[in-house]
Chain A
Amino acid sequence: MQVYLPIAEMSLDVFLLLGLGGAIGFLSGMFGVGGGFLLTPMLIFIGVPPAVAVATQANQVVASSVSGVLAHWSRGNVDFRMGGVLLGGGILGSTAGVFIFGVLKSIGQIDLVIALAYVLLLGIIGVTMLQEALRAMLRRRDPKPPVRKLHQHIWVHGLPFKMRFRKSRLYISALLPIGVGFLVGLLAALLGVGGAFLMVPAMIYLLGMPTTIVVGTSLFQIIFVAANVTLLQAVQNQTVDAVLAAILVLGGVVGAQIGGRLGGKLKGDQLRILLALLVFVVASGLAYELVATPDELYSIAPLGLPL
């Protein structure tokens, strides 16, 4: 059944979109990743204009993070003070990102930047995931725990404006979470991703937060960053497709719940390797399109949109 997407201005099969939303939701429920970094390239693959895919995806991220954060909140795993500081940086970053997005769109380079950034990010994520999964498998065979220092002192701990984060049991410079928030917000706006895949490692390794608090806190601030991106994209670029977002959200929430339930029962490592491979496939698909000689070297962009 075809459905006409009023902002993307094209017809797509509603079951394909539901399936896509569901499959990504399934993965996100199973692996605890937002899934935006896979859904946006998938949407671009099936023909949604990249600008619409990114902006609409940000809207979908709002919905999926809300249902995620509520679950974490009920377990008391959200550091609101840390979330607030991260959010400050996130709002600045995402606002800058939407502005850059608009500029790139007007000079015709937005599709290139989105594709390049995705190839780079997915490549890095794929490698990291594969490494971690393989290391975990090896560790199980050789059950000697790695020796790690309790608290490492690097240059970041010398920064000014120190703040106390009780829940995270940290006393660090506020500039650090603001910087992390800014970078992730920038990516959220440019790529339509929640940024959890960057935020979570940064919070663990750079800020040194306890892992139990990390996911809930990152989801908490992602809600607001994604909401900010959606709002700004809607105002500046008019690229948020409400119909597309609704279908993706519907498929996504159902998929996420099923994935979450299944994920608890299944062995993680092999699945992680599979996800890493999937990430690689998407990345190489995008990379191939950047390098391969296109069938059509020319493209048309309408100037003013008539009402």
Chain B
Amino acid sequence: MTGRFAIATTLSLLLVAAPAPRLASATPLVADLSDHLIAITTDFTGTDVLLFGAVDGPGDVVVVVRGPVNDATVRRKERVAGIWVNRESVEFRAVPSFYAIASTRPLDEILDLPTRMRHSIGIDTLRLSAPEAERSLLPEFRAALERIKTAEQLYRPDVIDVTFLGDTLFRADFQFPSNVSTGSYVVEVLLIREGEVASAQTTPLVISKSGIGADIYQFAHVNSFFYGLASVSIALLAGWIAHLVFRRI
């Protein structure tokens, strides 16, 4: 609830500031998130993050949320002797684990393709390279990558609404599903005027495992031998306790 409170205060401060005469030094765009840290705890089922901010005049607002990049292998199944088997594969470098866009209007009404390419706004503008793959395979495999990521709700090809409250204040809601990757996310807020980026601001967003789940994950990956020993010991103990308990009943 502290996030709500912070938004309320910020919004009211912005409202107070809005009617004041515009100073030359005032930034045309300010924005912030309701949370800068999403903690994945054992009861995590996904979460919403609110982006809010203000602009100093007319214009469109576009927000791009990018997740940390990873390499990813995309495989295609083919029927071999009646059974579906993984055959061809393409390794993509630096694939964003999450990508979502919010905008006040459809993107093609605000920006032309070259500008979108320059600022990499839109899933179609992502530069996904696969240096070792066969050229002819790329379009299909890339489409598959986008399709699967979209089905997992990690890519949002449909633009999320940025809504204006009055002339200056705006907000957008972003949903993060439970399978979201951990790491540093970048939230880029752009103010678009006359087809050009007039102002931009980036805000970091960190998603990390927290609590016992994080400790287990860390333990499993950093001290994997002792994690294995611990898992086995717990199982041995559980079996022994079960034997003791149920012998008496």
Contacts and interface: CB of A to CB of B under 8 A. Distances in A.
Interface string B123-166: 00000000000000000010011011101000000000000000
26 contacts: A4-B43, A4-B44, A4-B178, A6-B212, A9-B179, A10-B179, A59-B231, A62-B239, A63-B236, A67-B242, A70-B239, A70-B243, A108-B89, A112-B86, A231-B229, A234-B227, A242-B220, A243-B42, A257-B246, A296-B148, A297-B78, A302-B70, A303-B70, A303-B71, A304-B71, A306-B182
Contact of B234 (A7, A242, A296): A242
B76 to A, nearest CB: 5
* Chain A interface extent, by class: 35 or more
A157 to B, nearest CB: 36
Given A109-B86, A240-B228, A59 B235 contact: yes
Contact of A301 (B68, B73, B209, B238): B73
A60 B234 CA distance: 10
A186 to B, nearest CB: 19
Given A6-B214, A64-B239, A65-B239, A300 B42 contact: no
A78 to B, nearest CB: 14
Contacts of B145: 298, 300
A270 interface: no
Contacts of B216: 6-7, 242-243
Given A4-B44, A242-B216, 12 more contacts: A6-B42, A6-B213, A11-B45, A63-B238, A63-B242, A71-B247, A108-B73, A108-B89, A109-B85, A230-B231, A298-B76, A300-B75
Contact of A6 (B71, B209, B231, B239): B209
A293 B83 CA distance: 9
Task: Among A109, A253, A291, find the residue whose CB has the most chain B CB atoms closer than 10 A.
Answer: A253
Interface residues of B, number: 65
Contact of B147 (A68, A238, A253, A296): A296
Contacts of A293: 79, 84
Interface string B71-114: 11111111100111110010100000000000000000000000
A246 interface: yes
B221 interface: yes
Interface string A219-249: 0000100010011111100101011011001
A264 to B, nearest CB: 14
A298 B144 contact: yes
A306 B213 contact: no
Contacts of A3: 42-43
Interface in A242-283: 242-243, 245-246, 249-250, 253, 256-257
A161 B176 CA distance: 62
Given A63-B242, A231-B232, A299 B213 contact: no
B181 to A, nearest CB: 7
A66 interface: yes
A34 to B, nearest CB: 12
Contacts of A302: 70-73
A150 interface: no
Contacts of B91: 303
Task: Among A62, A67, A250, find the residue whose CB has the most chain B CB atoms closer than 10 A.
Answer: A67
A46 interface: no
A3 B44 CA distance: 7
B12 interface: no
B2 to A, nearest CB: 23
Nearest to B143: A298
B72 A303 contact: yes
B243 A66 contact: yes
B77 A230 contact: no
Nearest to A8: B179
User: Which 3 pairs across A and B sit closest by C-beta, in order of nearness?
Assistant: A66-B239, A234-B228, A298-B144
A257 to B, nearest CB: 5
Nearest to B77: A297
A293 B82 CA distance: 10
Given A66-B236, A242-B231, A298 B45 contact: no
B5 interface: no
A246 B220 contact: no
A84 B123 CA distance: 59
Contact of A10 (B83, B178, B182, B232): B178
Contacts of B247: 71
